[in-house]
Structure 1
């Protein structure tokens, strides 16, 4: 590991980064899948070189917090042998390849993306020129699973769909659907061409705030059309579109008319908004049947992604003894045990409880998202992690919920942990009270207004915050429609009507 003064902003495994609670080392785990041996080794590593505190991230990485001593080269070699660490050190900082945690076992999937995840990671490992990509360059592969990643942020997303001829193909998304259709056999070539064109762009543009330009900067600068033209130049086959993406005044004169055959036809892509709603209203926590007969997977809640080394070790033992020995990390900061024979479900559920964990989607500690907060990040104004867990414990004594409620704590305006509005968002602020400055939050709800939703409670102190959330949830539960989410409940009301409901309920509680 480098000297502390040399550590990068974006942590990897070989080169961690400095957080307020110590050095943070992040393991890049393509697709988020670990076997039992890998889990045991990670648990031992956390015990020996840190306080044993692990955390699943929102890209299904696994990170070790509070690393207190340098890790010797022989340990890195062992991690590489086990497939935990990148074979090429330079590739390690690049963002994890995201895929559905139910790839290969989802009953709704159109195809299994795990071979593609491996193929793309293998390509990165064997082509050193791609180590120059921005550490934030991100790829997502969605196989049409019910546990979809389509609503999650990726620079490039390949999402499986079925064509009008019943052929399974991928659609290319660059923030939005480009209309490009890609055969499974073409995926790696297209990803290489996309990454190569982006890499050339970063080499010829100045750094932004000291960092390499992101793909969004390329799209804002070049536009999607010009970017795709450069991508086409690096491909041995023609890209196919569902319809021509170029302006009408160019269709008759530009060479793209012959380069990009249009009108191939595909069934409409699944809406990203509806995908997001599906995952939030039908979460992967709990027990779900697999596509393999007589087997199920269990989604286990990890509040804020936190996992003790002994819990990881025991979960790996459990998976090894009663399932296939596989744990799957999710971008929602929890994990799955897959391939459980249905005859073992009751025993596994009991042992999960013995570890102090649970699989319920309707407990508030299952529904939390939070950034590192002031304990781990210099930009944060509030201790988001502690406040989120304290709120969940407090409200668990006062409320029973029957639908998942998604609550996001952000220590500042950057919103690093969650990039779109969800049910309830709390943004950390500093509040002047008399002669002192205290931690507090602006509280938003709903999904209509970017970036956080609609403002509900401004400038609430951290001590008063659980009461404000309790009031909002009580009004929601009292006046909602059946199966209506908090976000939907808030969005279908005028803000003055919502405030009147809150004021009336508050008076009734006094």
Structure 2
């Protein structure tokens, strides 16, 4: 590991970054899948070199906090042999390879994307020149699963579709959440990704840094536009890119009204939690809630043993900062659920601690105005004593307006600020809700102190449950009201 003076701002595994509580390091887990041996080795690693606590990130990677000693080269080599560290140190920061956590087991799966994840990871590992990419560069593979990652704004996303006239499965190409209209055969995916990445890398080398950082793909798109980018990419390919009219895609068996051949995404927040049947007859998976993604090393060991004894010997990390155990024989599901409870964990989507997403906050990031992690957990502990939700929602805490941990639409967003109150500076939040087309939604409350935060969120939840329409999500409920009427409805004067 580098000396403290050399640590980067965006951490990897081999070079962490400084945080208030020590050195922060991130372990790349392509596609989010860990085998039992990897889990045990990670648990031993964090016990020996940190506080024994891990955190699943919103890219389905692992974050290790409070690293407190130098780690010998032999340990890094052991992690590389286990597939837990890059074979080439220089490409370690390019860690964002995302896929649905239910790839290969989802009942709605069109195509198992796990081989594509492995192939793209291998391409990165064998092309060290790609270490010059932005560390936030992200690739996503969506196989048409019900538990979908399509709402996550990866730089480049490939989405499986079913196509006429022979029900062929192909991929559509998306940039930053926008469909380009380009379709790609499965056999072409890695070559197209390589060309897209090469053109992007050439762009970054000829552009100045933006606020001290390498240009992101969105900067390229804003500068060149999609057409020019694709033109440069096509010159690197031995075949022409194909663009096909959206009408040629089949409607799915669920009568998806968009008619794109893309199967519908589960609409319920935290729909990956709980017990679900797999496409493999007689087997189920269970989604386990991890409040703010936190996991103790002993819990990781025991979950790995549980997966080995009663499941498919893997743990699947999710971008919702939870994890899944898959391939559980239906006859063993009750036993697995009981053993999860014995570890102090649960699988309910309607526990308030299942609803949280938070950035590192001021304890781990110099940009954050508030300690999001402790504030979020304190809020749900307080609310759990007063209120029970009957439908899952998403609540996101961001320590600043960068909103690093938010990559999908959120029902309620709290953005950290500093408030001047009675001559003192205290921590507080602006609270937003609804409107997926806005960065945070519409602002409902401004400058709410930490002491008042729990009461404000409680009012929002109570009013929603009282006045919502059947099957109406929290975001839809908020969007149904004019902003002045919504603020009045949610005010403490009207509803205590």
Alignment match, 2:462: 474
Contact 1:11 1:93 in 2 (8 A): yes
Partner Cα distance (1:351, 1:392) in 2: 24
| Displacement after TM superposition at 1:448 (Å) | 5.0
Q: Structure 2 stretches of 5 or more lacking a match? A: none
Partner Cα distance (2:320, 2:264) in 1: 12
Q: How many residues align?
A: 488
TM-score by length of 2: 0.95
SS of 1:280's equivalent in the other structure is coil
| Displacement after TM superposition at 1:8 (Å) | 1.0
SS of 2:111's equivalent in the other structure is coil
| Displacement after TM superposition at 1:413 (Å) | 1.0
Partner Cα distance (2:61, 2:232) in 1: 32
| Displacement after TM superposition at 1:164 (Å) | 2.0
**Residues 429-472 of structure 1: per-residue CA shift (max 9 Å, x gap):** 11111121111111111125622111111111101100011011
TM-score by length of 1: 0.93
Partner Cα distance (2:330, 2:408) in 1: 37
Partner Cα distance (1:449, 1:182) in 2: 28
Partner Cα distance (2:366, 2:388) in 1: 35
Q: Structure 1 stretches of 5 or more lacking a match? A: 244-262
2:267 paired with 1:265: no
| Displacement after TM superposition at 1:279 (Å) | 4.6
Alignment match, 2:209: 207
Alignment match, 2:387: 399
Contact 2:55 2:62 in 1 (8 A): yes
| Displacement after TM superposition at 1:119 (Å) | 0.5
Alignment match, 1:108: 108
2:414 paired with 1:426: yes
Provide runs of 4+ in structure 1 moved above 6 Å.
Answer: 268-272, 274-277
The 5 A counterparts of 1:235-384 are: 235-243=237-245, 265-267=248-250, 278-281=266-269, 283-384=271-372
Alignment match, 2:148: 148
Q: What's the Cα RMSD here?
A: 1.8
Alignment match, 1:254: none
What is the aligned counterpart of 1:438 among 395, 418, 426? 426
**Residues 349-376 of structure 1: per-residue CA shift (max 9 Å, x gap):** 0110111100000111001011111111
Contact 1:13 1:85 in 2 (8 A): yes
Contact 1:151 1:275 in 2 (8 A): no
Partner Cα distance (2:251, 2:231) in 1: 24
Contact 1:420 1:450 in 2 (8 A): no
| Displacement after TM superposition at 1:499 (Å) | 2.6
Residues 389 and 195 (structure 1), Cα distance of their counterparts in 2 relative to 1, 3 Å cut: same
SS of 1:98's equivalent in the other structure is strand
Alignment match, 1:172: 173
Partner Cα distance (1:67, 1:448) in 2: 38
| Displacement after TM superposition at 1:275 (Å) | 8.8
| Displacement after TM superposition at 1:265 (Å) | 3.0
| Displacement after TM superposition at 1:280 (Å) | 3.4
